[in-house]
Structure 1
């Protein structure tokens, strides 16, 4: 028997992770406040149908209605997990019986009194599959049912139910289980099976199950079926589930932390050689980035259950989160998420994975807000990454200021515009030029020259009162230092350099 059937709960107290549903229902049963229609909604495999059967069992127990069925009366035995069932409890699969004729037949049967129980209960699973005409056929009896009749609708998509039906029910939303609750459920099942399991296996099963108890128990059942004499080992679970080895994820994250592009591409090569799916590797890498972001934001993430990791892996995650930083983690997570969309149905997933790794390793290749934030973070950390790869202006060994990235046409034009006279060497310039005051004085002189020449070109005479001469800074703008001055202005303000060049 499958594990999810073998360990199906028989009372509300045995339902795991749905206390927000079981406690109000238990209170209503014990107080005798019974409604004629219930709506159980939530993701698949989280206990909706099992809870509906428990509710029917609690309603028809000889000591009921009660939240704790006795388990020994005929009704409790018939409705127990694995029991033969009861004539007064009908379970209908609306996925295959969803037409108006099916609903009319159900309506006609519902008027009959129960044969041997207190209530006649109809459990309608996958209720969202019923057609609008079928809902309309049920509407009147759901609105005003006989006293012995109770409807329980179970669905994963409650918004598809007819609004007039939803308004006549008590809605109880079910949720997926948290990782700690799921791990506790798996450990209790393993204790009942008596098979040894390594601690590193539980996070794999919890993550693969996605919070669904039924899916997680099905995965655990598969691992138990393939377990050897030593039990369920971590390597065996990796092979059966197709999950990427944690060591490869660690190597990829550490390579990003030290800007080791060669090491990152080496990890991609090892992933392909080991037979892992590139898209699955990207998904596992995205999960790791999520864990690192949570660890960085909440230092007590492991104690609070926000991140599920073995004890030996927790310190490694803390070190990786500290090495990468929030900006890097955020940008890499966004890039991996974008890359996963591109890999869907791709014919060359390895190529896309390598391109993704190149984009993660080169923050200077992008001009997005995330890339700029990562470069700023690198500068603050003192790695120097942002200053070497992100600078658009560099200075050559002879003091020449130029752009790092320049079109050939721009380079040829600038070479043709270079003055023919010999440029003065840095040691020939005045000693106080380094403080920038000489450049300011020369800029003032250049602006005066530019204004006079523009006035002459317009044929206008410039007449203004004489101004006091600017204080001397020890440097006079002349033909011998005009070229050096232009280079300095060009590095500081490109628009001013263009104006000076045209005025010259």
Structure 2
């Protein structure tokens, strides 16, 4: 029968004891100086060398050359007290777990008065000393207090606080500790070399983690793996199957999914884990160990060199990438959640459910108001701002160019990028010379028919812009519906204000830019509808800080699509959908969206499952000719008329009436008729106002059934 590794490689001298230098060095010094006490107390976790050190102490005391810190190993006492020796009659080892009663201690006390038979000292090693009863300790108290000169007691225990205080105070206490991973790896690597079995490097961290810092437990785990090793030695796959640990691939997939905020992948990992027969508790513990390594790696980049973490070299690259994607605050919050979840899993009847719940808490930092959750949200916003920075910088440069060069012609291909800031600024009545003014094609002056028509819609022009040499011809009435719909582009000026505005020249065919037309329509940071839904709670919080009434209307809205810079929402309540499409509410949502994900946005809301409105720079020409005109909404009559801004001298002549007649007014669609009927039935206080407080009161009164309390 093969001898167990922890017995085969038991240390025979203090120099061979691994990881306990804080104990062995003082003992060696005391032995060399001859300062020997009559009682010692060795305490510490199991399997860390307490009993072995007690035997080495007895061997050093009774060596023919002793007392010495280094036994000779050749005298009779050293040979008998060797790890596999026959033992000595003068060294008595008592297991207090089975011999801790008062009768056993009385017998030991009676034997203690006899002189040693063949050695220098009589040594009594009492293992598991905390199991001795109070009566047993009382029986030993007098002899431990005043022992004969030839008698030495060595108590070994894992719970020194349970040793009687009067006994403990009469001993020299040496606390043993768990063996650090570096020293443990060196120990088991030597054992594998001595056994002549090849072991993959990735197996050693698994064995060390399974041993928990105990040399005996670690060597027992290694002994099991060596016993089942094949011709190729101990492989990683064989080790994880025998030890029951979680495959590192599952841990990597879980961490990557948490970093990406991909809930489907996170719960998919949990499903694969359960289908493979792994214990959810063990997975949570292994995930916590990985998060601990990532926290240390984020705080100390040279953690591997310092020995703070022990991972294979090929795993370090992937862990470094995970640290870059997860900030320190996020990692700390994840570790706290998993640690709390491990506590909740103890005795849980559905550990998988507990694991899925803690995964959900990690994915949703907005559900918690703790500082760690706030820090995780800030780190997420910083990462998104970094991704969206190039697009935002390009848009900022375009806006600066428009503001600094009033006479410059905006390229037709960049019309969506220019319209975005115009849409966001439509709620305020600013002078015409301070910001661009949007003009419909039907309001543009007639151009010579000799010039070819431009294939793309014209970009908005500044009012004070001088006319170009080759103006673009007006398009046919069938092409006019290419302009944005009313829901996607709320009108900001009345018809009278637009009629009194100075004329704006249109760029000719020679002014077409070389910039690709698709570039301005790319969403900031590559955002799509799914990504916007994931930050919906953050968007609501941002809207709440700007307008609580808008946030209340937006709560039940759903993201339908993201097309370029246009975000289309749907709402089950048609009146609320129209209110969300109003310029003031749309601006609030767009500004909040910019603060969350960056970029410049336009927001529109449709009712129910209605199709989203196309962006102004998109396929507007494909819309039917009966599309609604954005300037014919009934609410336009209640808006103040914009004062025309003074234009630089010479002042151009007022815009003449277009020669091309407007198309006949189409029949009111069903949604417009419903809107008119509802606006007639509603009280006059429901009309959109500039007063924020009055609008909020009207909204609560009409839709929530509230009653206004008059101040008396």
CA distance in 1: counterparts of 2:128 and 2:155, whole angstroms: 8
Instruction: Report the Cα distance in structure 2 between the residues aligned to 1:82 and 1:426, rounded to whole angstroms.
Output: 102
Conserved 8 A contact 2:689-2:695: no
Q: State how 1:403-442 maps to structure 2 within 5 Å.
A: 403=552, 404-405=554-555, 423-424=635-636
Q: Structure 1 residue 328: deviation in Å?
A: 1.4
Corresponding residue of 2:282 = 280
SS of the residue aligned with 1:154? Answer: strand
1:302-330 deviation line (CA, Å, top 9, x unaligned)? 01111100111112111111211112112
Structure 1 counterpart SS, 2:304:
coil
Matched residue, 2:325: 323
| TM-score (norm. length: structure 1) | 0.82
1:340 CA displacement: 1.7
- Structure 2 distance, partners of 1:313, 1:91, is 47
Matched-pair contact (CA < 8 Å) for 2:90–2:121: yes
Question: Residue 463 of structure 1 corresponds to which residue in structure 2?
Answer: none
Q: CA deviation at 1:357?
A: 1.6
Residue matched to 2:370: 368
Which whole-Å CA distance do the structure 2 matches of 1:66 and 1:256 have between them?
Answer: 58
Aligned match for 1:402, one of 531, 551, 560: 551
Distance 1:500 1:382, change over 3 A: farther
Give the Å deviation of 1:485.
Answer: 1.7
Residue 24 of structure 1 pairs with residue 230 of structure 2: no
Distance in 1 separating the partners of 2:543 and 2:228: 62
The answer for the alignment partner of 2:343 in structure 1 is 341
CA distance in 1, matches of 2:109, 2:642: 103
Q: Shift of residue 431 of structure 1? A: 8.7
Residues 406 and 387 of structure 1: CA distance in aligned 2, closer, same or farther (over 3 Å)? closer
Unmatched runs of 5 consecutive residues or more in structure 1: 433-477
Change (3 A) 1:387 1:484: farther
Aligned to 1:475: none
Distance 1:39 1:482, change over 3 A: same
Segments of structure 2 that go 5 or more residues without pairing to the other structure are 386-530, 558-571, 580-632, 645-683, 701-705
**Counterparts of 1:176-215 in structure 2 under 5 Å?**
176-215=178-217
- Displacement after TM superposition at 1:352 (Å): 2.3
In structure 2, the partner of 1:247 is 249
Structure 1 residues 145 and 322: alpha-carbon distance in aligned structure 2, compared to 1, 3 A threshold: same
How far apart in 2 are the matches of 1:485 and 1:225?
Answer: 82
Shift of 1:16: 0.5
CA contact (8 A) 1:400 1:487 kept: no
Answering whether residue 51 of structure 2 is matched by residue 49 of structure 1, we say yes
* Residues 169/394 of structure 1: CA separation in 2 closer, same or farther (3 Å cut): same
Tell me: CA distance 1:428–1:229, structure 2 relative to 1, closer, same or farther (3 Å).
farther
Q: List aligned pairs for 1:41-80, cutoff 5 A.
A: 41-80=43-82
Aligned length: 443
Partner-residue secondary structure (3-state), 1:401:
helix
Candidates 6, 10, 22, aligned match of 1:8: 10
**Alignment pair present for 1:484 and 2:690:** yes
Could you tell me how far 1:429 is from its partner in structure 2?
Answer: 7.1
Shift of residue 489 of structure 1?
A: 8.2
Q: Deviations over 1:428-479 (max 9, x none)?
A: 67599xxxxxxxxxxxxxxxxxxxxxxxxxxxxxxxxxxxxxxxxxxxxx98
Taking the TM superposition and a 5 Å limit, the aligned residue runs for 1:160-179 are: 160-179=162-181
Question: Is residue 389 from structure 1 mapped to residue 537 from structure 2 by the alignment?
Answer: yes
Report SS of the residue matched to 1:58.
Answer: helix
CA deviation map 1:239-295 (0-9, x unaligned) = 000000000100000011111111111111211122211111111111111110011
Distance in 2, Cα, partners of 1:266 & 1:6: 46
**Counterpart Cα distance in 2 of 1:356 and 1:322:** 23
Q: Displaced runs of 4+ in structure 1, greater than 4 A?
A: 383-387, 421-432, 478-482, 487-491, 498-504
Aligned to 1:460: none
Q: CA deviation at 1:422?
A: 6.2
CA shift in 2, pair 1:379/1:56, >3 Å? same
Aligned to 2:154: 152
Aligned position for 2:268: 266
Q: Any conservation in 1 of the 2:226–2:234 contact (CA below 8 Å)?
A: yes
Structure 1 counterpart of 2:222: 220
Q: In structure 2, what is the Cα distance between the partners aligned to 1:288 and 1:499?
A: 57
Larger-Rg structure: 2
1:135-167 C-alpha deviation (Å, 9 max, x unpaired): 111111111110000000000111111111111
Distance 2:290 2:259 in 1: 14
Asked if structure 2 preserves the Cα contact closer than 8 Å seen for 1:176 and 1:211, the reply is yes
Secondary structure of 2:690 counterpart: helix
Where 2:84 maps in the other structure, the secondary structure is coil
1:338 CA displacement: 1.9
Q: 1:501 and 1:93, CA in 2 relative to 1: closer, same or farther beyond 3 A?
A: same
- Tell me how far 1:218 sits from its aligned partner: 0.4
1:256 to 245, 255, 258: 258
Larger helix share, 1 or 2:
1
* Cα 1:393–1:20 shift into 2, 3 Å: closer
Which of these residues, 307, 323, 340, is aligned with residue 309 of structure 2?
307
**Cα contact 2:635–2:688 (8 A) shared by 1:** no
Structure 1 CA distance, aligned partners of 2:160 and 2:105? 18
TM-score (norm 2): 0.58
Alpha carbon RMSD of aligned pairs, Å?
3.1
Residue 123 of structure 1 corresponds to 125
Deviation at 1:197, TM superposition (A): 0.2
CA contact (8 A) 2:688 2:695 kept: no
Of 31, 39, 50, the residue aligned with 1:37 is 39
- Counterpart Cα distance in 1 of 2:88 and 2:549: 93
| Counterpart contact for 1:99–1:134, Cα < 8 Å | yes
